[in-house]
A and B are shown apart, each in its own frame.
Chain A
Amino acid sequence: AQSVTQLDSHVSVSEGTPVLLRCNYSSSYSPSLFWYVQHPNKGLQLLLKYTSAATLVKGINGFEAEFKKSETSFHLTKPSAHMSDAAEYFCVVSSSPSGGSYIPTFGRGTSLIVHP
């Protein structure tokens, strides 16, 4: 079984300040973890993914996330927010027993609001 919890439904920051979007997961097996971004009326775009290599993962547009197994977390960060970062962000977990099928589970999303 697997699940993912995005701890904040909305996060509001000022342009130029750091961004932190929190994600906790639950999985009985070694998971892959993803962060996607969705701009209004658009599909989802992959920001970054963790698949059991380096625990600190760097993505596009200056975003990064750290996989912390002991805390079952995969928080998304960015040092300095830009107006164009305003969007909906989804944390995704995908895992299964060996040889099984992988069905991704999406978090409910965090809406990032960036103030000028």
Chain B
Amino acid sequence: KAGVTQTPRYLIKTRGQQVTLSCSPISGHRSVSWYQQTPGQGLQFLFEYFSETQRNKGNFPGRFSGRQFSNSRSEMNVSTLELGDSALYLCASSLSPGRGETQYFGPGTRLLVL
């Protein structure tokens, strides 16, 4: 079974631009979560989607948004990019939301904002 895939793997943008990252979950998984990983802040939860609905959202500004499609694929969008948005963005999928559900992570998209 194929794992979680994320595209693109690397991205360079300039301040003020916007970016869209894509995540394809493991087949059969309906829950997708997004995380931002930086050396300074570590791994921080962005949001979680299940059945095309946002279930949870982390403490990030409104410039960060996402959506999930009927096939469970998910996209996240960052508008008006700032230098501090440079990070590794990780997507994780699970069968469903839940306390004990195992999340399977993709390799991440590394975003550099110049």
Contacts and interface: CB of A to CB of B under 8 A. Distances in A.
State yes or no: do A and B come from one complex.
Answer: yes
A43 B105 contact: yes
Contacts, number: 56
Contacts of B42: 106-109
Q: Which of A43, A46, A52, A107 has the most CB of B within 10 A?
A: A43
Interface string A62-101: 0000000000000000000000000000100011100001
A102 B99 contact: yes
A31 B98 CA distance: 11
B18 interface: no
Given A43-B4, A90-B43, A96 B99 contact: yes
B102 A49 contact: yes
Interface residues of A, number: 27
Interface of A: 30-32, 34, 36, 41-46, 49, 51-52, 90, 94-96, 101-109
Interface of B: 4, 35, 42-45, 48, 55-56, 58, 90, 92, 97-108
24 contacts: A32-B99, A41-B107, A43-B4, A43-B90, A43-B106, A43-B108, A44-B92, A44-B103, A45-B105, A46-B104, A51-B100, A52-B100, A94-B99, A96-B99, A102-B97, A102-B98, A102-B101, A103-B45, A103-B48, A104-B103, A106-B35, A106-B42, A109-B42, A109-B43
